[in-house]
């Protein structure tokens, strides 16, 4: 049995459905036949009904040429389907004309029992009933953008679990969508404006990755030997929180630690991969375990990245791959997070809850919020995720390590991660759950920068009680710091910001924590058009024409 579900694609099949309805011989329904039937005697009415019912039951809705894979059809509500089957991807809210899921059945035996004897060509069913006879189920996720003329083609063939994409573009030059050209095969990252989001890495990218791998693989045995006692000592319920930081980002790391201490949150199982000695000393000064591997991190810049995707940013992305992969080799679960995060309560309680309906997934990612072709279908943020240790998750990490040239090519750890994630979910059954942006527990930059401020205003009123805030979608470290201050989540004293350990004066009788960490939030206003726990109406906007948040 082959069941093909096309999510959000009902409008595309409307024409086909109408023609199938005609092909089916216009089977009668009680409502449509009531007028003409009223002219007939009861006995004749019964006889005609029986004849029509038998005819409609035996006659296929589909022409003979497709009956081996399309013999029946139904539809169910999208919300009902995705509540019954957790696809793992963030589910967009249903919109008019795309509220339902379409289901095709390859033979009568695959159809729900009620449909096998029904005279109605296509019924709206509950999901459990719609799939009650299905032994296999293939799910296709497809966009429902009314602005594009899209065809979805099902070919009876030796099975493939990838979608082949065609567009009307020229074979060479700038390959922008144009209806005058024939359909040509393109990559899944090919946009209608001609931009291709997935280009193969160049030989120079691969060589750089090989150089990095050569150093890493030559040192891996020593690294594991050094890490083992640290991980064994700090792991809680076989889980380690992994972070990576250079000195340029160290104030965000320190703020995370100071914020957690002010809330009495346990961060004893945090392991910081410092890319320089200064950051290692700072992390240890606030009670965090830290590890500095000069063999592999000597070339990582001390400074913070100036923007997303610059050279310093990409160097840190490579460090993010290494630190998670090597900890995974020690057989523990991993919560990886960027340093631009503050906890409101420990997220480990969420992932350790064995009663949770999503506890059986292998990997959990924060929804980045950018539902673009680059990150489809997961939109998974690479700055906050949880991996349960098993062969599937470890091989995913091993494979991502080997795709370092793709990170170098795309200037994005996230884009490469999603590409590898998609293949492993499909090929190896890696169960991935994205913690949807439409839910309340794990907000990030998408929520913080919403123009309407809907989520953040609800948070300030106490209606939302998330685990954390991830200051993603923010240009650089300086802006993150200012946003945290007016959010009311900055706890690092001024004299400890952007300082090396020997530059911080600690009064006699005090320690680093009492000197650098504030017990209460250090609020200050900076931009009127960004969320603030108190009104900042007198501050300038950061965005041109930005209106006051309050």
Residue range 472-503, pLDDT digits in tens: 999 899 999 999 999 999 999 999 999 999 99
Mean pLDDT of 358-374: 94
* 64 CB-contact burial (10 Å; exposed 0-12 / middle 13-18 / buried 19+): exposed
Please check whether residue 239 lies inside any domain of the structure: yes
pLDDT band with cut points at 50, 70 and 90 for residue 313: low
Range of the domain at 183: 161-196
Number of Cβ within a 10 Å radius of residue 461 = 8
- C-alpha span between 343 and 256 (Å, rounded): 7
The answer to whether residues 433 and 365 touch, using CB atoms and an 8 Å cutoff, is yes
The answer to whether residues 226 and 291 touch, using CB atoms and an 8 Å cutoff, is yes
Please check whether residue 85 lies inside any domain of the structure: yes
Please check whether residue 503 lies inside any domain of the structure: no
In this structure, what token pair is assigned to residue 444?
């990030």
Following DSSP, what letter does each residue of 243-281 receive, concatenated? Answer: EEE-GGGHHHHHHHHHHHHHTT---TTEEEEESSHHHHH
Query: What is the per-residue pLDDT across 280-296, written as a single tens digit (0 to 9) for each?
Result: 999 999 999 999 999 99
Q: Please, what is the average pLDDT of the chain?
A: 87
What's the whole-model pTM score?
0.84
Please check whether residue 170 lies inside any domain of the structure: yes
Please check whether residue 535 lies inside any domain of the structure: no
pLDDT higher than threshold 50 for residue 34: no
H or E segment and range at residue 432: strand 432-435
Please check whether residue 461 lies inside any domain of the structure: no
- Of residues 3 and 248, more confidently modeled: 248
pLDDT band with cut points at 50, 70 and 90 for residue 235: very high
Least confident segment among 40-54, 288-302, 340-354: 40-54
pLDDT higher than threshold 60 for residue 43: no
Q: What is the pLDDT of residue 216?
A: 94
Mean pLDDT of 80-87: 95
Q: What is the pLDDT of residue 312?
A: 61
Strand partners, 243: 272
Residues 142 and 239 in one domain: no
DSSP structural state of residue 13: G
Q: What's the number of domains the chain is made of?
A: 3
pLDDT band with cut points at 50, 70 and 90 for residue 274: very high
The 3-state DSSP class for residue 73 equals: strand
Residue ending a domain, among 387, 404, 435, is 435
- Of residues 163 and 313, more confidently modeled: 163
Mean pLDDT of 508-516: 94
Residues 263 and 367 in one domain: yes
pLDDT higher than threshold 70 for residue 458: yes
pLDDT band with cut points at 50, 70 and 90 for residue 92: confident
Query: Sign (positive/negative) of CA torsion 7, 11, 16, 20?
Result: positive
Q: What is the 3-state secondary structure (H, E, C) of 188-240?
A: CCECCCCCECCCCCCHHHHHHHHHHHHHHHHHHHHHHHHHHHHHHHHCECCEE
Residues 65 and 170 in one domain: no
Please check whether residue 30 lies inside any domain of the structure: no
Residues 325 and 410 in one domain: yes
Please check whether residue 444 lies inside any domain of the structure: no
pLDDT band with cut points at 50, 70 and 90 for residue 47: very low
pLDDT band with cut points at 50, 70 and 90 for residue 59: low
Residues 258 and 374 in one domain: yes
Angle, alpha carbons 73-74-75 (nearest 5°): 140
Q: What is the pLDDT of residue 311?
A: 54
Residues 274 and 311 in one domain: yes
pLDDT higher than threshold 90 for residue 463: yes
CATH number at residue 423: 3.90.550
């Amino acid at each position: 049995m082959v069941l093909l579900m096309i999510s959000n694609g009902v409008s595309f099949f409307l024409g086909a459905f109408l023609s199938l309805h005609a092909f089916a011989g216009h089977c009668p329904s009680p409502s449509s036949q009531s007028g003409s039937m009223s002219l007939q005697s009861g006995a004749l009415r019964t006889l005609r009904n029986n004849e029509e019912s038998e005819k409609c039951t035996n006659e296929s809705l589909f022409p003979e040429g497709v009956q081996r894979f399309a013999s029946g059809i139904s539809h169910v509500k999208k919300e009902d389907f995705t509540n019954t089957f957790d696809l793992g991807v963030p589910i967009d809210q249903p919109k008019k004309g795309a509220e339902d899921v379409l289901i095709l059945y390859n033979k009568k035996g695959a159809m729900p029992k009620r449909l096998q004897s029904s005279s109605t060509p296509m019924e709206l069913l509950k999901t459990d009933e719609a799939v009650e006879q299905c032994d296999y189920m293939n799910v296709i996720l497809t966009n429902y953008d009314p602005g594009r003329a899209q065809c979805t083609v099902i070919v009876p063939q030796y099975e493939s679990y990838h979608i082949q994409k065609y567009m009307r573009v020229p074979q060479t030059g700038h390959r922008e969508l144009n209806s005058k050209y024939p359909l040509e095969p393109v990559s899944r990252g090919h946009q209608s404006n001609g931009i291709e989001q997935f280009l193969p890495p160049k030989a120079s990218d691969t060589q750089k990755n090989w150089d990095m791998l050569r150093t890493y693989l030559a040192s891996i045995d020593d690294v594991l030997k050094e890490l083992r006692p640290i991980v064994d000592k700090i792991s809680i319920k076989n889980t380690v929180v992994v972070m990576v930081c250079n000195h340029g980002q160290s104030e965000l790391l320190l703020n995370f630690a100071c914020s957690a201490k002010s809330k009495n949150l346990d961060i004893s199982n945090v392991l910081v991969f410092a890319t320089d000695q200064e950051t290692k000393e700072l992390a240890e000064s606030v009670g965090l375990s830290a590890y500095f591997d000069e063999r592999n991190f000597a070339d990582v810049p001390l400074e913070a990245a100036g923007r997303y995707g610059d050279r310093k940013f990409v160097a840190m992305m490579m460090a993010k791959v290494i630190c998670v992969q090597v900890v995974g080799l020690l057989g523990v679960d991993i919560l990886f997070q960027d340093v631009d995060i503050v906890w409101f309560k420990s997220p480990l309680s969420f992932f350790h809850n064995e009663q949770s309906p999503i506890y059986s997934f292998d990997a959990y990612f924060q929804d980045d919020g950018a539902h673009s072709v680059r990150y489809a279908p997961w939109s998974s943020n690479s700055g906050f995720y949880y991996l349960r240790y098993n062969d599937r998750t470890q091989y995913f990490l091993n494979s991502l390590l080997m795709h370092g040239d793709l990170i170098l090519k795309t200037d994005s750890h996230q884009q490469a991660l999603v590409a590898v994630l998609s293949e492993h979910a499909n090929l190896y059954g890696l169960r991935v759950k994205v913690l949807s942006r439409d839910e309340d527990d794990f907000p990030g930059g998408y929520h913080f920068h919403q123009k309407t401020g809907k989520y953040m205003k609800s948070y300030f009123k106490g209606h939302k009680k998330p685990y954390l805030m991830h200051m993603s979608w923010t240009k650089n470290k300086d802006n993150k710091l200012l946003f945290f201050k007016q959010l009311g989540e900055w706890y690092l004293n001024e004299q400890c910001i952007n300082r090396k350990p020997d530059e911080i004066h600690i009064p006699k009788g005090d320690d680093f924590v009492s000197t650098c960490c504030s017990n209460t939030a250090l609020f200050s206003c900076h931009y009127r058009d960004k969320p603030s726990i108190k009104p900042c109406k007198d501050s300038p906007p950061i965005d041109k024409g930005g209106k006051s948040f309050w």
